[in-house]
Amino acid sequence: MKEFGVLSILLLGMACVSITDGKDVLKTYKNSLQQFHESRLISEEHHQVLREIQHMQYSGELKDALLCDLCVIGADALILEWRLDMSLDAIELEAIGVCTLLGIETGEVCRGVIERNIDIFDYIIRANPDLKGERICSVILQNDGCDKTVFEWTVDIPEGETVPRKNLSNPETSFNILHISDVHYNPLYKEGKLKDCDEPLCCQYDQPDGDPDAGTACGYWSEYEKADTSEALTDETIRKAAEFEFDYVYFTGDAVAHRVWETSIENNSESMKSLFRKMKRAFKNIPIYPALGNHEPSPLNEYSIGEDLDPKISSKWLYRLITTEFSQWLPKEAKRTLMRGGFYSVSPREGLRIVVVNSNVAYIMNWWLIHDDVDPFGQLAWLAQTLKEAEDANEVVHILSHIPSGKADLLQVWSREYHRIIDRFSGTIGAQFNGHTHHDQFMVYYSSKNTSEVTSIAINGASVMPDRSNPSFKILNVDEASFDLLDTDEWTFNLTEANQNGNQTPNWYKLYSFREEYGVSSLSPPVFSEFMPKLAANHSLLYNYHILRYRNSDLAIDGGCDDSCKSNYLCEIAVSKVGDTTQCEELQKIFDRS
Ligand SMILES: *[C@@H]1O[C@H](CO)[C@@H](O)[C@H](O)[C@H]1NC(C)=O
Ligand SMILES: *[C@@H]1O[C@H](CO)[C@@H](O)[C@H](O)[C@H]1NC(C)=O
Ligand SMILES: *[C@@H]1O[C@H](CO)[C@@H](O)[C@H](O)[C@H]1NC(C)=O
Ligand SMILES: *[C@@H]1O[C@H](CO)[C@@H](O)[C@H](O)[C@H]1NC(C)=O
Ligand SMILES: *[C@@H]1O[C@H](CO)[C@@H](O)[C@H](O)[C@H]1NC(C)=O
Ligand SMILES: [Zn+2]
Ligand SMILES: [Zn+2]
């Protein structure tokens, strides 16, 4: 499911309003603004240009540089509206108008999303009198060649070499952890509604009915596309997971549904509390360690940066909620950092430390980066310090973070600094755990000193919500001495078949064991130094990766995976620092030769 980029498209829309007459952009813009003030309508002529540009964007004709330029003009125009003291209501109306006219989303969705974002824009634009459109576009279009503003800062990392990794236990002793991610719990899911609705999320109680005979009706559990996790699927997944034995639960974020036009502090709180209640009840007293997802705040993606903010735009409520909900498993210091920025560290047993990072703050759809991009909350400095303390205490660390560090959703400089920290402390880090992509993935980190050496790995918990896949969770098997991963088992069921059988318990099955599937002895990083070139050379194994990535869903099988699809997966696995493809290109050379 695509993340919501409405505002960036809107900026583009505004840009087009302003370039209608070509040459004197500002003058034209002021004219159109004037017109808009008088008529409250966007003229047919403007509308036309907007559509053309939109068409160019969708058909790929809009090249990076042009897109960036258009964005800058649009963003500057938007800022100008504020500086001209245009009322917030008028700006909001204009934005909703453009969004609806262009058919980016339905009127209701446009309104819902824009209403929820406008106060944050208002704060950021007023708090930064020198703000230029360039800065806005360099954040949101980072991956589309827009680098007019360069974000550059570094974190102080304690000097020294990383310690050697601990040896695996001998004889092997281990314990289990349940890894569950991206539930996107949607109690408003309703069987029988229309599968292919106009909104970004379908199967909602207040949407039109589908036709079961024509195959357009949403099934009992969920659907592969544009659907979240129904109450029934949530309960069933938690019930099934609770059958296993494990000592802890890692929940890597995104509790809240994609009903993004109706988020609110109340609605999101209700949803999270309800999901956590279900998990706590089913897992009894087993500690649950949550990482926040980008869907938890309202509006989605927005993690406020700054002190003493109006509660309306501040994320404090969310930190308070998580702190309260999980307080029984969190020491005082963890609660303090959770309240500061949604990150914390806790040692659940001798020798193991869990460090949870709030990577969402560095998501390029977090407008607050426009306000302040420099190590928000001092979180990365804290991470480096916390790893140093763990190193000194001879502990091993598991890092939990919603967005994988190599995912281009993250601000490049943040990703680079995170990567530097991992490089420095790799020997202390057992493994990392992510969510967000909804795919079953793993990611390798290469040493900055030796480009053949894998120094850290991250695995993705995939997702409970389908998103073209079958619903799933993972049982992680962890070595008792090194806290390296020995194996991961993924559990799933066939959604097509389950929906055909209505409310009968689905046929859960073990999709795969990592060790068996990939023929490795464990998931220790040194194992991956040897394994990666083998994977790159083995086309059939990369095809298996494709199937597992989607948990054997009919959609993925039907879609297939050709050579370019397989080769791209190598870059998904071997890019752990945004924008750095050197390692994956090496692997692709092996792929091409094989
Ligand atoms: C790990 O195992 C190796 C080889 O068996 C041994 O030489 C080394 O001392 C062990 N390291 C630790 C920290 O026990
Ligand atoms: C919360 O969700 C309910 C149910 O969909 C909806 O009617 C209500 O408008 C939502 N609240 C807000 C503030 O969006
Ligand atoms: C680099 O790492 C690889 C894989 O771990 C190892 O075989 C090789 O000896 C290392 N090279 C150096 C110079 O340390
Ligand atoms: C899933 O179930 C459907 C319906 O029974 C079946 O057609 C399909 O082949 C199954 N998929 C897999 C991967 O077994
Ligand atoms: C490639 O992977 C498959 C498993 O999918 C395995 O059976 C086969 O032996 C591997 N081939 C090579 C050359 O390693
Ligand atoms: Zn998600
Ligand atoms: Zn997410």
Instruction: Determine the pLDDT at residue 29.
Output: 46
Contacts (Cβ under 8 Å, ≥6 apart) of 181: 251, 252, 253, 254, 434, 435, 436, 460, 461, 462, 463, 464, 473
Per-residue model confidence (pLDDT) at position 101: 80
Residue 71 or 545, more confident:
545
The strand ranges marked E within 233-382 are 248-251, 288-290, 344-349, 352-357
Is 198 near ligand 4, meaning CB less than 6 Å away? Answer: no
Q: Torsions phi, psi of 556, nearest 5?
A: -70, -40
> Which contiguous run of DSSP H or E holds residue 327?
none
Out of 96-110, 147-161, 205-219, least confident range: 96-110
pLDDT at 121: 94
DSSP reduced 3-state for 455: strand
**Does residue 223 or residue 145 have the better pLDDT?**
223
DSSP assigned state of 44: H
CATH superfamily, domain 174-189+228-593, is Metallo-dependent phosphatases (3.60.21.10)
Q: Which of 450, 456, 527 to mutate to test the pocket of ligand 3 (most atoms within 8 A of CB)?
A: 450
Mean of pLDDT values over 391-415: 98
**Which ligand is nearest to the Cα of residue 527, counting in written order?**
3
Task: Give the distance (Å) from ligand 7 centre to CA of residue 181.
Answer: 9
Dihedral sign, Cα of residue 434, residue 435, residue 441, residue 447: negative
363-375 tens-digit pLDDT:
999 999 999 999 9
Residue 309 CB less than 6 A away from ligand 5: no
Among 82-86, 183-187, 420-424, where is mean pLDDT lowest?
82-86
- pLDDT score recorded for residue 339: 97
Structure confidence at residue 41 (pLDDT):
63
pLDDT higher than threshold 60 for residue 552: yes
pLDDT higher than 70, residue 39: no
Question: What separation, in Å, do the N-terminal and C-terminal C-alpha atoms of the chain show?
Answer: 33
Contacts of 392 (CB under 8 A, 6+ apart): none
Q: Which ligand is nearest to the CA of 553?
A: 4
Q: How far is CA 426 from CA 153, 420, 446, in A?
A: 22, 10, 10
Round the average pLDDT of the chain to a whole number and report it: 92
Q: What is the distance between the alpha carbons of residues 564 and 318, in angstroms, rounded to a whole number? A: 41
Sheet holding 509-513, edge to edge: 288-290, 248-251, 174-180, 472-479, 485-492, 509-513
Domain locations in the chain? 2-144, 174-189+228-593
Ligand 3 binding pocket includes 500 (Cβ within 6 Å): no
The alpha carbon of 437 and the centre of ligand 7 are apart by a number of angstroms equal to: 7
User: Which of 452, 528, 530, 532 best tests ligand 3's pocket when mutated (most atoms within 8 Å of CB)?
Assistant: 452
Instruction: Average the pLDDT over each of 17-21, 282-286, 357-361, 446-450 and give the range with the smallest value.
Output: 17-21
In DSSP notation, 172-215 reads --EEEEEEE----B-TTB-TTBBSS-SSSS-SBTTS-B--GGGT
Distance from the alpha carbon of residue 166 to the mean position of ligand 3, in angstroms: 18
- What long-range pairs does 534-543 form, CB within 8 A, spacing at least 24? 535/570, 535/573, 535/587, 536/570, 536/587, 536/588, 536/590, 536/591, 536/594, 537/590, 537/591, 537/593, 537/594, 538/594, 539/563, 539/566, 539/591, 539/594, 542/566, 542/569, 542/570, 542/591
Mean pLDDT of 69-84: 84
Question: What Rg do the C-alpha atoms of the chain give, in angstroms?
Answer: 24
Strand ranges of the sheet holding 396-401, from the earlier edge strand across to the other edge: 344-349, 352-357, 396-401, 429-434, 454-460, 442-446
CB of 451 closer than 6 A to ligand 3?
no
CA of 339: how far to CAs of 192, 256, 287, 342, 382, in Å?
41, 20, 19, 6, 14
pLDDT of 497 reads: 98
Expressed in angstroms and rounded, the spacing between residue 476 Cα and the centre of ligand 6 is 20
Verify whether ligand 2 is closer than 6 Å to residue 262 (CB atom). Answer: yes
The pTM of the full predicted model, rounded to 2 decimals, is 0.94
Assess whether the C-beta atom of 447 lies below 6 angstroms from ligand 3.
no
Burial of 500 (0-12, 13-18, 19+ CB in 10 A): exposed
Q: Encode pLDDT of 52-61 as tens digits.
A: 666 766 776 6
CA 254 to ligand 2 centroid distance, Å: 19
Ligand 6 centre from 361 Cα, in Å?
Answer: 15
> Does the Cβ of 496 fall within 6 Å of ligand 4?
yes
Q: For residue 151, what pLDDT is reported?
A: 96
Structure tokens at 530: 């040897």
For residue 554 and ligand 4, the question of a CB distance below 6 A is answered with yes
Distance, in Å, from the CA atom of 525 to the CA atom of 455, rounded to the nearest integer, reads: 5
Residue 552 Cβ inside 6 Å of ligand 4? The answer reads: yes
Return binding residues: 182, 184, 254, 294, 402, 436, 438
- Cβ atoms of residues 360 and 294 within 8 Å: yes
Q: What integer is the mean pLDDT of 434-440? A: 98
Please state the rounded mean pLDDT for residues 223-252: 98
Whether pLDDT at 162 is above 70? yes
Res 381 pLDDT > 50: yes
What distance in angstroms lies between residue 5's CA and the mean position of ligand 1's atoms?
Answer: 51
Spatial distance between the Cα atoms of 247 and 318, rounded to a whole number of angstroms: 26
Closest approach atom of ligand 4 to CA 553:
13
Distances (CA, A) of 234 to 231, 237, 240, 589: 5, 5, 10, 43
pLDDT at position 73 is 79
Residue 17 in tokens: 């309003």
Question: Using one digit for the tens of pLDDT, what is the confidence trace for 328-337?
Answer: 999 999 999 9
User: Is pLDDT above 70 for 312?
Assistant: yes
Q: Please state, in angstroms and rounded to a whole number, the distance separating the CA atoms of residues 186 and 193.
A: 14
Nearest CA among 376, 380, 373, 336 for reference residue 357: 380
Asked if pLDDT for residue 502 goes beyond 70, the answer is: yes
Mean pLDDT confidence for 445-467: 97
Instruction: Judge if the beta carbon of residue 540 lies within 6 A of ligand 5.
Output: yes
CA–CA separation, 352 vs 286, rounded Å?
A: 16
Q: How far is the CA of 253 from the centre of ligand 7 (A)?
A: 7
Of the CA atoms within 13 Å of residue 125, those in its CB half-sphere come to 21
- Tell me what percent of the residues of the chain surpass a pLDDT of 90: 81
At residue 8, the pLDDT reads 57
What pLDDT is recorded for position 510? 98
